[in-house]
Structure 1
């Protein structure tokens, strides 16, 4: 992996930095690189989304390989989601000790036994990676299958940072900033699912949280859908608005008596987002003929436990006809261990107690802020008992830090030069059933940076900064 840095002289002169940060904030607010303020969630207010001032160097060879592999990863998740025996075996212990995965799995079992009213699912995925200095490779952190976010903002941050480079006289560097069409390509997935459904009067439903900070990311997708296909109407409905949902005589999903072609989840990825009655609404949706993004089986395929089981010797290979493809994907895996109550699980348990600084303890959750790191692991793990089976143990990836300025509402006019590490996400879209694949493509990328001293790097948990790659 190349160790080149961004060819910009750092630190930037204070006067120039002050002017540049002001330009970045203004450009960002004018172009929707924005969120609702976390402290007030005021629907009448937007504030600048946290982002880095400059792009971050990413080795071209690694970037292009991850882009190339994304359709194969989409297909892998699709096959996993449609392999009942695999899901049953992989999640058997987890569902006994993790209530959230258990409830999700129960819905899957109900609709599977009844027979899926809609065979086709839409996957809008993102595979996240960190560059590991020890192995000089990008290694997979996780695979997101539900409520995959930041595609809209990622496109705009690439443009923002390109503008900043040009303003500072570095326009010759722009050729190394890869185009990012994540907003268009992810929105196109929803359009393709709507077209497949085959009813021009049916709507696309965005199922959203009661309060949404990341409103620009969602609204830009809504507007892009309209741009691609003006006939499509998008509805935004909260999962908690259960009285609005019912099934028609053909099992079509009706919301306020409007037929729904596609349900796009921007909620429901963590137990805190479910209120009483919301699980019944989720089941109702899964029983319908709408195309779900994701379907409940795609949701289960994205669990950390499935990620760990796929990394076991010989398991991944069963899903690929081409051994070279399986080999290329296996290279992306870091160490992943089960914590089941058996010899292998005990071995991993003892590893975590002896060398906690080398590992991360991960529950079956999305959304950031859930993992246990380093010296916090032993006490937490020892307090769990049998419940340890709800977690997996992952080898800690050691990314190489770079320097950047972090721009946010709280950063002031002259932010300090910080040491950061960056996580690369590659988006993918797949539409298909157990019998056929209707579409499968790579759908852009995102980069997210955080302070090198921070464990979590999610925008939603307040420690992540939008970024984009500069290929070296």
Structure 2
């Protein structure tokens, strides 16, 4: 990370500020081509890679997209984001375990969104039947971007303004491996470009070990050395390195822990509950369930997959996430948290509340009421300023810009109960990518 180095008169200037690169660019062509080849090979050989979606082959990999050299970034804002994450973790934990809030917030959504409705029915079942496992494991990723234009009435803070939250990911939060390995890749490239002195500015990224230690601690709490950690995965896994390196890290930290990978379909066929509600998969007891699938409708092609999810939620295993956390991560809940006064329900202290309130972007409901109609009119008038988002996670389901009016006019969004979010005007940077 570099110290602040920005151009632009102030955060509300018409010309968007641009962060300066951490090294002089452009890099000479011959040197650039040489280091690009090295970078791609390094990425492939260290697991910064994925399987191709367009030409899928389980035995072939391609490097994951990456920026060649580190992006410059204001150090103060980075440190602020790190501190903020623990507050958001506390917020999500309290939201997930506030039954009244989840019910009132999602009561309209579950009537029209089948996917969220199915999740909520599982949630109600767990509450009614008093699941044997009161503990949950939250591996949460908050996606934030640095806003470069102050909101109306906001303070001028220079060439950048403040963090804005894109979303909170409560299930299948990816890049626990790809994030840290990108740091190592860029460290290697800086040395290759004779800028090794900049490496000290790259912050350590222990995300992978942190996430895996969380799963191991949950495994220890159950206290059954013979039990395994279960990864719930897709039928076809493209982001395989990011998943497998979690498995490898667990083995590295504690070689005695077994990790098994199963799809929801396989759990429906192979899973059952033991006499004490322990989860058994082909006879192997499971103490921790880590969901890397289950966050979108396509993962539940039949009722069997929903039955598998309910089976796991009823079990003694610690879930990551539990159905409580999954519902807390819906866009509707995030939209509700942005309403005035709501944060006081979950957080103590004005400083803590203000730090979270500052990062909320405009996130509006499209429900069939006055607020929803006002949001529709704003989006129709200035579609380039907004993004339409569904309740669920996983990406690839958003609607942008000039596609928004058409979607609104044919009422697609009233069926799916999307939310509308203001775009973040993020900082640009000159760089090689």
* TM-score of the two chains, using structure 1 as the length reference: 0.84
- Of residues 43, 51, 54, the one that matches 1:36 is 51
Name 2:327's counterpart in structure 1.
300
Matches within 5 A, 1:33-432: 33-135=48-150, 136-241=161-266, 242-276=268-302, 277-384=304-411, 387=414, 390-406=417-433
The alpha carbon displacement at 1:222 in A equals 0.7
Residue 23 to residue 77, structure 1, CA distance change in 2 (3 Å): same
Higher normalized contact order (CA 8 Å, seq sep 6+, divided by chain length) = 1
Name 2:153's counterpart in structure 1.
none
Tell me the distance in 1 between the aligned counterparts of 2:430 and 2:397: 27
Q: What secondary structure is seen at the aligned counterpart in 1 of 2:214?
A: helix
Tell me the distance in 1 between the aligned counterparts of 2:376 and 2:112: 16
1:247/1:254 contact within 8 Å kept:
yes
1:186-242 CA-to-partner distances (Å, cap 9, x unmatched) read 111110110111111100001111111111111111111112122210001111112
1:227-270 CA-to-partner distances (Å, cap 9, x unmatched) read 21222100011111121111111111000011100000011111
1:69-107 CA-to-partner distances (Å, cap 9, x unmatched) read 111111100100100000001111111111111111111
Name 1:7's counterpart in structure 2.
22
Unaligned ranges ≥5, structure 1: 407-472
Tell me the distance in 2 between the aligned counterparts of 1:240 and 1:222: 21
The alpha carbon displacement at 1:37 in A equals 2.2
* TM-score of the two chains, using structure 2 as the length reference: 0.91
Per residue, is there more strand in 1 or in 2?
Answer: 1
1:338/1:392 contact within 8 Å kept:
yes
Tell me the distance in 1 between the aligned counterparts of 2:52 and 2:130: 44
Tell me the distance in 2 between the aligned counterparts of 1:286 and 1:12: 53
2:131/2:314 contact within 8 Å kept:
yes
1:364/1:391 contact within 8 Å kept:
yes
1:11-54 CA-to-partner distances (Å, cap 9, x unmatched) read 22211111001110111122111112222332222221111111
The alpha carbon displacement at 1:389 in A equals 6.7
1:269/1:367 contact within 8 Å kept:
yes
2:232/2:262 contact within 8 Å kept:
yes
1:400-447 CA-to-partner distances (Å, cap 9, x unmatched) read 2112333xxxxxxxxxxxxxxxxxxxxxxxxxxxxxxxxxxxxxxxxx
1:123/1:145 contact within 8 Å kept:
yes
